[in-house]
Amino acid sequence: MSEKAFDKELGKWSAWHDTGVPLRLGVSSCLLGEEVRFDGGHARNSFMMDVLGNWFEWVPVCPEVGIGMGVPRPTIRLFQNDKDVRLIAPSTREDFTVRMGTYAAKKVKELQKTDLDGYILKKGSPSCGMERIKVYDERGVRRRDAAGLYAAVLIERWPTLPVEEEGRLNDVDIRENFIERVFCRNRWRTLIRRGLTRRRLVAFHTAHKLLLRSHNEAGYRRSGRLVGLAGQIPDGELFTLYEAELYRVMRTRATKRRHVNVLEHALGYMKKLLPSREKREILAAIGDYGAGLIPLIVPLTLLRFNIHRYEIDYLAGQIYFNPHPKELMLRNHV
C-alpha cells in the first residue's frame, strides 16, 4: 500500500485488503445449513451462503451444541423469575443459564483471538437472537425485548464488532451498512497488520472522508480533529483513539439524507467543469435517489464517470465510491 497521504488508488476497496487474508465472519452454525437445531434441522440462509459466501470465510458457532445439549434436544426459553432472566428447558425444568454464560464468555474470548470482521446471528433464538426475544413467566409471554443469552455476552464483551441478525439483513439499508462496517473494520485491521504509521493513518483517514460523512458528520469531524493531533500525542494513544472513533462513526447508519449530502458535496468538486445541462441531470438523479425512486448506484455511477473524465484525484481516492465488491450489489436496490 502506498504511504502517500493522497492517492487515487486508495479509493479502491481492494487496495486495502490482503488477498491471502480472508474476511472472516462469525455465524450461528444453523444458518450455514448445519443440522444443529433442536429438532435436527437447519436454517440455511441462501443470501449468506450463495452471495456472501463468495467473499467471507465463516466461523460457525452453535452455543447450544457447545454447552453439550446435543441434537435433537428439548427446546429452551428465557424465563423471568423474581430476580433475573433464566435459560430453561420447559419440558425438564433444567436450567442452562450458568452453563451458557460461562460458555459464551469463554467462546467470545477465543473468537477475539481469531480477529473476526463481523458476526451474523440467527433471529428468534433464546441463545443466538440479537433482539426481540420472548421472555416468559408462569402466565406466558411476558415481553419480547430480550437478547439471546449467548448473543448478549457477545455484544457486551465485543462492542466494536459489527453484529447483525440474519432476518434484519433482508432490509437493504441494514444489509449495506453491516457489510460496509465489516469491510471498513477489515481495512483498518489490514492497516495495523501492515504496520500503522502516522502517514498511513492520514492516508486512511483521507480515503475514508466521504464514507465517514455518509455515516456521521459530527463523528467525521471528531476523527479529523484526532488525525490533527498526530505528532502532539504518543502514536499508540492516537491510534487507539482513532480506532474507537472510527468504529463509533461506522455504527451510525448511513441514511438517504446523509448520502444525498455526500453526493451533492462530491458534485461541488465538478460544478465548474460540467456543462450545466449535465450538472442538472446529476442533481436530478441525486434528488430521485433521495426520493426513493432510483437506487444509489445511479447517481454514484454518474459521479464516478465524471471523476475519471475530469481526473479529480481527491474524489477518485475516496473509498466511498467503491467500499466493497460490486458483485455484492449492495447499492443496486431502491
> Where along the sequence are the contacts to ligand SF4 (CB under 6 A)?
28-30, 36-37, 62-64, 122, 125, 127-128
Reference 49, options 120, 127, 148, 131; nearest CA is 120
264 with 256: CB under 8 angstroms?
A: no
286 with 257: CB under 8 angstroms?
A: no
Q: Select 30 or 249, whichever has its Cβ closest to ligand SF4.
A: 30
Q: Select 154 or 315, whichever has its Cβ closest to ligand SF4.
A: 154
Q: Select 28 or 186, whichever has its Cβ closest to ligand SF4.
A: 28
Strand partners, 85: 80
Rounded least distance, CB 124 to ligand SF4, Å: 8
Q: Select 128 or 267, whichever has its Cβ closest to ligand SF4.
A: 128
Residues across the chain: 334
Phi, psi of 79 (to 5 degrees): -120, 135
Sequence-distant (6+) residues with CB within 8 A of 239 are: 192, 196, 201
Rounded least distance, CB 84 to ligand SF4, Å: 20
Q: Select 33 or 325, whichever has its Cβ closest to ligand SF4.
A: 33
Rounded least distance, CB 108 to ligand SF4, Å: 14
**d(C-alpha 120, C-alpha 117), whole Å:** 11
487515487: which residue's cell? 8
Rounded least distance, CB 76 to ligand SF4, Å: 9
Q: Select 25 or 227, whichever has its Cβ closest to ligand SF4.
A: 25
Give the DSSP H/E element, type plus range, for residue 295: none
162 with 119: CB under 8 angstroms?
A: yes
Q: Cα 139 from chain centroid?
A: 38
Q: Select 30 or 303, whichever has its Cβ closest to ligand SF4.
A: 30
Rounded least distance, CB 128 to ligand SF4, Å: 3
In terms of C-beta density within 10 A (0-12 exposed, 13-18 middle, 19 or more buried), how is residue 217 classed? Answer: middle
Rounded least distance, CB 151 to ligand SF4, Å: 9
483513539: which residue's cell? 241
Rounded least distance, CB 125 to ligand SF4, Å: 4
Phi, psi of 299 (to 5 degrees): -65, -30
